[in-house]
Structure 1
Amino acid sequence: MNPDDWHLTEDLDDFLARAGDFLHSRPALHTIPLTVTEALRTRGADAYGTEAPIFGRLERAGEVRATFFRTPPRRLNLTPLAPEEADTLAAHLSGLGCPLPGVSADHDTATAFAEAWQRHTGAMPTLHVRQRLYRLGTLTPPRPFPEGRGRVAGQKDREQLMLWYREFAAAIGSVTSANAGSWADTRIADRRLTFWETLDGTPVSMAGVTPMVAGQIRVTPVYTPAHLRGRGYAGAATAEVSLAALTAGAAEVLLFADLANPTSNGLYQRMGYRPVADFTVYDF
């Protein structure tokens, strides 16, 4: 294939005008680009940092076949590619001198691109994490269900949210937002974070959701401080936001789980979440 089939831009509106229908065609597999571009569209560069994002689409005969985006300093994110398509993109980006800290995609695509990037640049890929994407079928609240209640986080919870956001990001090795306060403020304003709290009103776990885009809502983040784990709090919080997403009219409720954590994978499956695809993240 021709490297010129890849079209790069920093213009989000142009990217969505040309690739939006493609992204909406498979909402589950495209959940990351759908939610990230929606955040950029509604909140601008502050959503993910100050550097200009870059977007790309693979187009042949007037039809978009794949896309990518990167919000520096984060990794490249890809929709599914054939090995030859991954190789052509790696050659194209390396030829432009684009620095990449890593790649995130479905397992086959991420592996093909990581291998191609090594061939073209010499950069050695290392596995960061393997994840499974799940889609909710019939919601079954976990049993036993812990005592307590769900509560949507409000302005009084801002400091707590900022602290737990930083702890969550550190736990998964993620690049945090430049402004944790802005992260918390947006989710408080949109009522997108829920605490599970004990009967005395102490928050013990949190679960959030993305805005609905293309009929899908993704549960993220789910976090319980280490000293409070193993008591069912995360499952209760996840059940709360999953039910709220269904009530809001989501056709698909999604979440990712780290494949290295059998406890969370087992919990989500008992709650009615079913596997969609495996994703892999490599660092370069």
Structure 2
Amino acid sequence: MIRLIQFDDLSLFKKEVIPFLEQAEAENNLVLGVLQALTEEAKIYYMAVVYKGASIGLVLLQTQPHQIILSRYVQLTSEDIRSVGESLHRSLPDIPGFIGEKQATSELAASITHFRGGIPAAVFMNQRIYKLETLKRKPLSPGRLRTIAAKDLPTIREWVYQFCIETNQAMSEQEAAKRTALLIQKGLLAGWEVDGKLVSMANGTRPTRTNVTISYVYTPVSERKKGYAADCVAALTQQMLDNGYKSTSLYTDLSNPTSNKIYMEIGYEPVMDSVVLLFQ
């Protein structure tokens, strides 16, 4: 029997779902990392759990207006997912979109489309989640990894802004400045420096019990095709492993074969395909 249960209490929700999510930390790095960082004062649009019998099959969390994050699903058939879609449509009729494992997310969106009278969901991005436990390739260029500091704000602010443009994230320059300041404050934003000049950046984010995610990988156009992004990610990855994490993970855009190739050369292995689907 499939049941969709909505939660209103954040602490109860965390207690219920975190042990389930931690069974696959890399695949669930987005929903798990976001959930663990939430406080009672945070804006939360939706929290729910899908049960199949007595077991959790899927976790749903929405903290942003444009999409619901789906966990990796377990033991749910296509018929089960259609049943989830019907229950979800009844409890949340204005679903904006989803991000999650490709097959289940696509099936769930198709179910929602049916119950909403044919309103389609468009693919915003096809992604792949990678996981690394052992680094296979160390940095090759004669540079060093260093923590991004407040003095780097003018440079990194522009990089964050350009990164968001290239990844289709709508953001003003003022919003980019605020986000950059927050990233620097958290202390996990790092840059690859060559001859005293920053040439690439990467960020550690969403730390969980044994995993941390690498994000905001960016190299300015003038410094590309020199291997700096690969070196920056490799060095930051090793630093995270040295800090005690058993693995690191990252998302890639499947439309960018170059980044997918260099991450695999470093030692990242694909664990799950993900998709962002937004309703028109």
Residue matched to 1:119: 114
5+ unaligned residues in a row in structure 2: which ranges?
none
* 1:153 counterpart residue number: 148
The answer (yes or no) to whether the contact 1:22–1:65 under 8 Å persists in 2 is no
Shift of 1:56: 0.9
Contact kept in structure 2, 1:142 and 1:235, CA below 8 Å: no
CA–CA distance in structure 2, aligned partners of residues 91 and 55 of structure 1 = 17
Structure 1 residues 224 and 32: alpha-carbon distance in aligned structure 2, compared to 1, 3 A threshold? same
Segments of 5+ residues of structure 1 without an aligned counterpart are 46-50
Alpha-carbon offset, residue 179 of structure 1: 4.6
Residue of structure 2 equivalent to 1:52: 44
Question: 1:181 Cα shift?
Answer: 4.4
Deviation per CA, 1:61-116: give whole Å up to 9, x if none.
44322101112223111123432333223222322344233211111111111211
Amino acid at match of 1:149: R
Distance in 2 of aligned mates of 1:189 and 1:245: 18
Equivalent position amino acid for 2:46 in 1: I
- Which residue pairs with 1:38 in the alignment? 36
- How many residues align? The count is 274
Offset, 1:176 = 5.2
Superposed CA offset, 1:225-278 (max 9, x none): 233321111111101210111001111211112112111111111111111111
| Percent of residue pairs identical | 27
Matches within 5 A, 1:183-198: 183-198=179-194
Equivalent of 1:65, from 46, 57, 66?
Answer: 57
Query: Aligned-pair distance for 1:182?
Result: 4.5
Higher deviation after alignment, 21-30 or 221-230? 221-230
Mark the CA change 1:158 to 1:99 in structure 2 (over 3 Å): closer, same or farther: farther
How far apart are the structure 2 equivalents of 1:111 and 1:9? 24
**Whole-Å Cα distance in 2 between the matches of residues 52 and 97 of structure 1?**
14
- Work out whether 1:18 is the aligned partner of 2:27: no
| Counterpart code for 1:21 | P
Which of the residues 59, 70, 75 maps onto 1:78?
Answer: 70
Describe the superposition over 1:138-169 as per-residue Cα deviations: whole angstroms up to 9, x where unpaired: 313367x2333221101112333333222212
SS of corresponding position for 2:166: helix
Within 2, Cα distance between the matches of 1:97 and 1:272?
41
Cα pair 2:189 2:202 within 8 Å, conserved = yes
Equivalent residues of 2:217, 2:229 under 8 A apart: yes
Query: Which of 195, 198, 202 pairs up with 1:203?
Result: 198
Alpha-carbon spacing, 1:175–1:98, altered in 2? closer, same or farther (3 Å): farther
TM-score, normalised relative to structure 2:
0.88
Letter of the structure 1 residue corresponding to residue 63 of structure 2: T
- Aligned residue type for 1:133: I
Is it true that 1:141 corresponds to 2:137 in the alignment? yes
- Which secondary structure state, in structure 2, belongs to the residue aligned with residue 71 of structure 1? strand
Paired residue type of 1:32: L
The partner residue of 1:9 within 7, 10, 27 is 7
Answer yes or no: is the 8 Å Cα contact 1:142–1:267 preserved in 2.
no
Q: 1:89 aligns with which of 72, 84, 92?
A: 84
Q: 1:201-247, CA deviations, whole angstroms, 9 ceiling, x for partnerless residues?
A: 32221100114212111111211123332111111110121011100
Q: CA RMSD in A?
A: 2.3
Q: Which amino acid aligns with 2:49?
A: R
* SS of residue in 1 equivalent to 2:39: helix
Give the distance between the partners of 1:132 and 1:97, measured in 2 at CA.
28
The alignment status of 1:279 with 2:274, answered yes or no, reads yes
